[in-house]
Every structure is written in C-alpha cells, then in structure tokens.
Structure 1
C-alpha cells in the first residue's frame, strides 16, 4: 500500500501526468505558499511529457529549456508536445508548458539510441561520504535551535535528502574569501520504482534545487534572510549514464561568472563509484530584494 503523505510518493504522483490528447498532457501543481511554481517541477514534468511520446527504447541524452514566466502554485499546467524528429538514432521533442492561457516554459529534449564509442571523463572530487554528513534540516536546527517555518515545511515535504559537503556559513564574515563553489550529496528519501524515465525526471527536478547556491555563496549565507530575489532563466542537462535517483549522488556545483544581474552555474552529478552521470548548466537572475 502506498503512503499518500510520503514525499517520494508525492514526487512520483507529481511526475505522473494525465494524457488528455495524443500529444497533450496535464500536470498538477501543489497549492503551496510559494511565490512561483518550483522550476524543477516544471522541467521534470515537461520531460515526462516528452518521454511519453517516444517508444521508450531511447533514453534522453540532453535537454535545453527556458523559464519564461513564473508558474502559479495550485493551478494545473498543460504540456503540449511537438514531435520534431524520429530518426534512426535520435528522437527530438519540443514541449511548451501553458498555464492560464500563457506560455510559462519551453523545453527541447533529444533521445538517443545507445551506441558503442570511446570514453573518458573528469574525476570525481574527493569528498566525505554522505553518511558522515548531517542532513540539511538537522544542521540548520542545530545552529538555530529550531527550524524556521518555511524550512520545517520544506523538510516535511522534501522528496530528497540533501547533505552539504562543507559546513553552512551563517554570517557575511564567514563568507570572506569563499569561492563560488558548492557540493551536496542527494538521494530520494524513498524508493522511486523501476521506470528509468521517472528517475531521470526526478534528477531533473532535483537539479534545480541547489545549483544557484554556487552563485550566491560569495554574496550571502545560503540559509538566512535573502538580500536578493532569484529566478532561474534557463536550464540545460546532458545525461551520460543510467542511474537511480533513490541512490546517493554527488552534485558538484560552481559559478564561473556573475555579471549584469545574472549568474551562471554549472554542475556535475556523480554516483558513489565516481561515474559522471549528468552535466548541468543554468543561468539565474539576481536582483536586490525590493529593488
């Protein structure tokens, strides 16, 4: 029997879109006290819609997406899929996400039939094992004595266990000389089943959770009052190997540049054996709060 209160069950349900036409799907959006729908949710649902129009024998190898407008929590999102190409080796899909009659998100995804070829990769960083690190909620609770209401709510509903490789910094003084880098261990808090598309879309969801941390680190503490309003502008991912999102993966993140109120972040996702599973790029908008 499934548990409707389980964060992973809610994530699987979130990614289980309703097909309302051959190439049209509808996803629900939780009615939560947020300013906008979480971008990782929209990206994950859009990728599900794209994948549901393929034969399933070609895993996704890349996606490129733009966040065009903020989504409204609690309002369903309709995903319209265009079957751009079905070739001998590659399949391409374009997805438009619409809410309340307006386009909020565009995604193009490419699927590739497996082939043999040469291999190389950059090595995985040497970091502590996830079991030796505190859970995010526990680290914040230990420092503050209690959890802020927003983080308490997030900890209760969060489908991923997140553990920062380096200790959290709480004051501007602690940020002096800090490089724009961050790393976290993550995994779904419960089993996600055996559908590879669900695991791919779950990691797509998770990839938007902490990536812009690397941009913020030299500016302000990650867990405290925000001096900047943030929004994801675009998102790109390349998938190199199959994986399970309910097993530990390391998300290494860095920001090569920030300028013009925009910050660029790139991430690498490794499994515990050191295989590079996914590469990620994202640009975010950073404006002074209230500006």
Structure 2
C-alpha cells in the first residue's frame, strides 16, 4: 500500500513536470469584477470568470468578504449553492455556476474586501483567487452650497467665499472654478472635514483672491464649486456676480461733451465778436436789403 502511494506521488510529479515543460495550461482566473463604489441602497453585482485546463474539472467556487465565506458553489454536492450569514452581505441571486452573484441593497456594513476563489478537482486541486475592494457611498441629499459672495465686485476687491458639501460617506471632494477655469492653487484654502454622529462627513473649501480686470468677461464674474465622489456623484453650484461700473464714469463723459460745445461757442466769439453783436449786424443787413427792394426803380437807377 505504501509502495502504491509513493508511485502515485511520483506519477503526479511527472504529470506536473510534463505540464510545465510542454505548456499544458491549468486552471486560470481571467477576471474579477467588484464595483469600487456602490451607492447606499443599491444592489451590487459581483462577477468572477475563469478558464479550466484540459485536464481540470471544476470543484468549487467560493466568495469571501473580509476573509469570511458568504457563498459557495460545489457542483457535486447535494446542495450545490449555499449561503452563509454575514452582516451587510446577502446574496439575492446567483448564476448556475456561481460565477455571478447579486447582493441585497447595500448598507454601510456591505463595504469591504471581496474575494473569489476557484478550485479544480483532485488529484491536484488547483486553486486560483483574486480580490477587490468595495466602498459603500452615502450620497449627499443636496448639492454644494456657496456662501460669502457679494452682488457686485470692483477691480481690486477681495473675493472670499466658501463652499460646503452635503453630508456624505466617504467625504466629498470639492473644487473651485473661476470663469470656467480651475482656480489657482494659491487662491484655495486648506479644506476642512467634519464627521457627524451618524458617520457621514461634510467638506468645506474656501476661495480667496483679488479681482483683476481679466476676471470680468462681458461684465460678469462666474464662480463655480464642483462636488464629486469617485464616479458615482457629480454636482455643482455656480454664482454669477456683476462687475460694478466705475463711479462717476457716466457723469465725467457728460461733462466732457458739454465742454466741447462751450469751446466751439467761445471759438466763434473770438473770430467774430460777441454773440449779441453778431446778431445785431445780421439784422441790419436784412433790413437794408428789404428797404432797397421797396424804392422806385428810377431812384434805384439814379442811386446806382
């Protein structure tokens, strides 16, 4: 019996060496899909894809979360698919081969590290596995809020505004934009985080800069705060403030136009005397022409 056992071990070793030398493939895990971010209350779908070698037979497919098994598929068992209780994890449905599982609506405890393990039948029992992390996201119930902005700004004024996100988990990432362009790093203050009693977080980010002429485009200054959480949340809030006109601009223009008209009148006075004198001379000339037209022709001829 002992001799037969030794011979079997030698045979297995020879098979393994031949498989390696001649490129005979064995069980291989091709792909593991675990969503990196799952919104609270939604169903996560996990997928594990493998390929058996020419001499391999599937023995089991097992799913783990944080090292604890919560689902297995063993084709040869009387109960091929089994679930194991685990806080935050409940398999609602699965494929016939255990490759795909759909979890119940996520709660905060659903997050963690998930692993798929696939094993082949005896005598070699090849086993492959891979893991990926899942984060449960509690989305904010409202978009980012901007505070501290004024209705109007002048060149040289200081803009000091703050953006606060809604309560979420994980913390929301905030970014400022000025007229559609990312705000310079020098204008950004250090972000602050607040953790609430329910585990949700709030993020705040301040913006501080002096207004320059380049900031006004068509008279408006646009400030936008963007809040994001990975690829599952993307909301923004934008405020448009007007550039205040320079005080006295319209009045100074009117004074300039009045001065121009006065200059023309004064120039005319210098050339032909004062305005009343010019008017009197003009009246005398008209009167003389009229008087000449009313005189008799003879007198007019003799006069000429």
TM-score, normalised via structure 1 length: 0.19
Q: Which has the larger radius of gyration?
A: 2
Higher RCO, 1 vs 2 (CA within 8 Å, ≥6 residues apart) = 1
TM-score, normalised via structure 2 length: 0.19
